[in-house]
């Protein structure tokens, strides 16, 4: 039911990135991403009108598009199909790299892309600008998400927001009598509240985008480095960040990608602190485990997902119907409660969640300003020359493999 129930080894992403770099001398962009930061030419947005095609194909994170098969309380597909006659076909993807690969292959209409994939899709010409006039509910989207840089390029929106969430610090309340105030508990060896070392008792995320978490930690830990954006690192800043991650390797019990495995490690293997998502926190609390979460003083990274339209989508009219439907406040609060994420429509917080929880409060709707949202690192950045994502992939894989 999570973003990572089916994991594609990140080594495949590294290999793809290296292959792409070798195709164009001097290019350091990952697979599916041109060296230029300008979006590739895409077809004009189709005009409104025409018959509904009878289906729509969506690449989505597991648990993002539910029809009540797992829990009857969560179903936002059945009514859509009845109202429109558009059958919803879902292909789940476990990682952003897998989503990019699937979009490159073609054959799908929409994708729920996180910020570390959306710009790659725009730059690779795999998604097209959407006509917001065909999505009236966009007017109700959170102002904090309108024109966000991970899906808006040169004033054009390449999709509509779907959900967002912070990467929180999940911890064991029996070990931590008070919430940890720093990410240092997972990055530096130290004694915890029970007097024991954190060595072998913490986890790290096994995606290259986790490099940004270490950079975010260094923004406060070592201000002399001058890091102002965890996704824009020069050579010196990047070297210091890799050093943090190398040292963390000695502490790490596991690099997590599967939510069920992470939860089992907290329940059975003595893990007491890790970056995590609201889904796992909520699930463990529901099992009456001694678990809580916090956003430390350094803030956090996070994900904001966008429903994007493939540049060669065949079922454009049904796709637009889905994008409009996806912004319905009742759908948004249902998804928020189910997935442990935050809605992109503020009106959703006034709706009653299917099981009555205060999903907006629980899942951090008010934490937005503390989140540094995922986006694809590029060599061209405001700071000048920065380390591109392809190097993040290669170097992080090397650290995990030690």
Residues 22 and 50 in one domain: yes
Residue that is written with structure tokens 């041109």 in the block: 34
pLDDT for the residue numbered 26: 29
Regarding whether 382 and 237 lie in a shared domain, the answer is yes
Q: Which one has a higher pLDDT value, 277 or 31?
A: 277
Task: Find all residues with CB under 8 Å of 266, minimum gap 6, and list them.
Answer: 170, 172, 272, 274, 284, 289, 291
Kindly report which listed range (142-146, 196-200, 214-218, 277-281) carries the lowest average pLDDT score. 277-281
Are residues 331 and 385 located together in one domain of the fold? no
Same domain flag for 16 and 158: yes
Output the CA–CA distances (angstroms, integers) from residue 227 to 95, 219, 232, 241, 303, in the order listed: 27, 5, 8, 10, 20
CATH of the domain at 279: 3.40.190.10
The mean-pLDDT minimum among 6-20, 31-45, 168-182, 333-347 falls in 6-20
85 domain residue, yes or no = yes
| 110 is a domain residue | yes
Does residue 371 lie in a domain region?
Answer: no
Q: How far is CA 8 from the centre of its chain?
A: 15
The number of distinct structural domains making up the chain is: 2
**pLDDT beyond 90 at 49:** no
Q: How far apart are CA 344 and CA 350, in angstroms?
A: 13
How confident is the model over 199-239, as pLDDT tens digits?
999 999 988 999 999 999 999 999 999 999 999 999 999 99
Residue 139 included in any domain: yes
**Residues 391 and 339 reside in one and the same domain:** no
Judge whether 2 lies within some domain.
Answer: no
Report the alpha-carbon distance of residue 273 to residue 276 in Å, rounded.
9
Dihedral sign for Cα atoms in the order 194, 199, 204, 206: negative
pLDDT at 19 over 90: no
Q: Are residues 54 and 143 in the same domain?
A: yes
Q: How far is CA 315 from CA 43, 87, 110, 211, 322, in A?
A: 15, 11, 9, 37, 11
Residues 210 and 230 in one domain: yes
By CB atoms closer than 10 A (0-12, 13-18, 19+), residue 267 is middle
What is the pLDDT at residue 286?
85
CB 251 within 8 A of CB 214: no
Look at residue 265 and tell me whether its pLDDT is greater than 90.
Answer: yes
Please check whether residues 206 and 132 belong to one and the same domain.
Answer: no
pLDDT at 143 over 90: yes
Q: Are residues 217 and 290 in the same domain?
A: yes
Q: Are residues 217 and 354 in the same domain?
A: no
Instruction: Tell me, yes or no, whether 17 lies in a domain.
Output: yes
| pLDDT tens-digit readout, 180-198 | 999 999 999 999 999 999 9
Residues 389 and 334 in one domain: no
CA 186/CA 307 separation, integer angstroms: 33
SS3 328: coil
Residues spanned by the domain of 124? 10-165+303-365
What's the mean pLDDT in 295-301?
95
Q: Establish if 1 belongs to a structural domain.
A: no
| Cα dist from 288 to 33, 228, 247, 264, whole Å | 44, 39, 33, 14
Q: Assess whether 182 and 251 both reside in one domain.
A: yes
Residue 274 confidence (pLDDT) above 90: yes
394 in a structural domain: yes
pLDDT digits (tens, 9 = 90+) for 74-83: 999 999 999 9
If you search the block for the tokens 């923004």, which residue do you land on? 219
């Amino acid at each position: 039911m999570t973003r990572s129930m089916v994991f594609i080894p990140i080594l495949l992403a590294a290999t793809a990135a290296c292959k792409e770099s070798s195709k164009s001398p001097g290019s350091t962009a990952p697979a599916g991403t041109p060296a230029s930061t300008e979006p590739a030419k895409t077809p004009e947005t189709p005009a409104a009108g025409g018959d509904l095609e009878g289906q729509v194909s969506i690449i989505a994170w597991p648990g993002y598009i539910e029809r009540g098969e797992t829990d009857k309380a969560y179903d936002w597909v059945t009514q859509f199909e009845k109202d429109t006659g558009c059958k919803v076909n879902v292909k789940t993807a476990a990682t952003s790299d897998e989503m990019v690969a699937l979009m490159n292959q073609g054959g799908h209409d929409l994708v729920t892309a996180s910020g570390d994939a959306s710009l790659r899709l725009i730059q690779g010409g795999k998604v097209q600008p959407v006509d917001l006039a065909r999505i009236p509910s966009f007017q109700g989207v959170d102002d904090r998400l309108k024109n966000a840089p991970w899906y808006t390029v040169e004033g054009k929106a390449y999709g509509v927001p779907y959900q967002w969430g912070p990467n929180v610090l999940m911890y064991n309340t029996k070990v931590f009598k008070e919430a940890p105030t720093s990410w240092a508990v997972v990055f530096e060896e130290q004694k915890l509240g029970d007097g024991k070392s954190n060595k072998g008792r913490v986890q790290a995320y096994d995606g290259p985008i986790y490099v940004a978490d270490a950079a975010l930690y260094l923004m406060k830990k070592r201000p002399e480095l001058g890091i102002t954006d965890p996704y824009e690192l020069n050579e010196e800043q990047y070297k210091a960040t890799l050093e943090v991650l190398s040292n963390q390797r000695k502490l790490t019990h596991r690099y997590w990608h599967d939510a069920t495995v992470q939860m089992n490690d907290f329940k059975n293997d003595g893990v007491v602190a890790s970056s995590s998502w609201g889904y796992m926190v909520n699930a463990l609390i529901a099992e009456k485990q001694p678990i809580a979460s916090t956003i430390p003083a350094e803030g956090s990274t996070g994900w904001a997902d966008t429903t994007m339209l493939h540049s060669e989508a065949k079922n454009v009219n049904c796709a637009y119907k889905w994008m409009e439907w996806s912004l319905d406040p009742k759908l948004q609060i249902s998804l928020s409660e189910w997935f442990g994420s935050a809605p992109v429509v503020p009106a959703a917080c006034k709706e009653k969640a299917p099981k009555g929880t205060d999903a907006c409060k629980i899942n951090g709707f008010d934490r937005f300003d503390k989140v540094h949202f995922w986006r694809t690192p590029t060599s061209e950045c405001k700071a000048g020359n920065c380390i591109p994502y392809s190097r993040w992939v290669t170097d992080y894989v090397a650290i995990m493999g030690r």
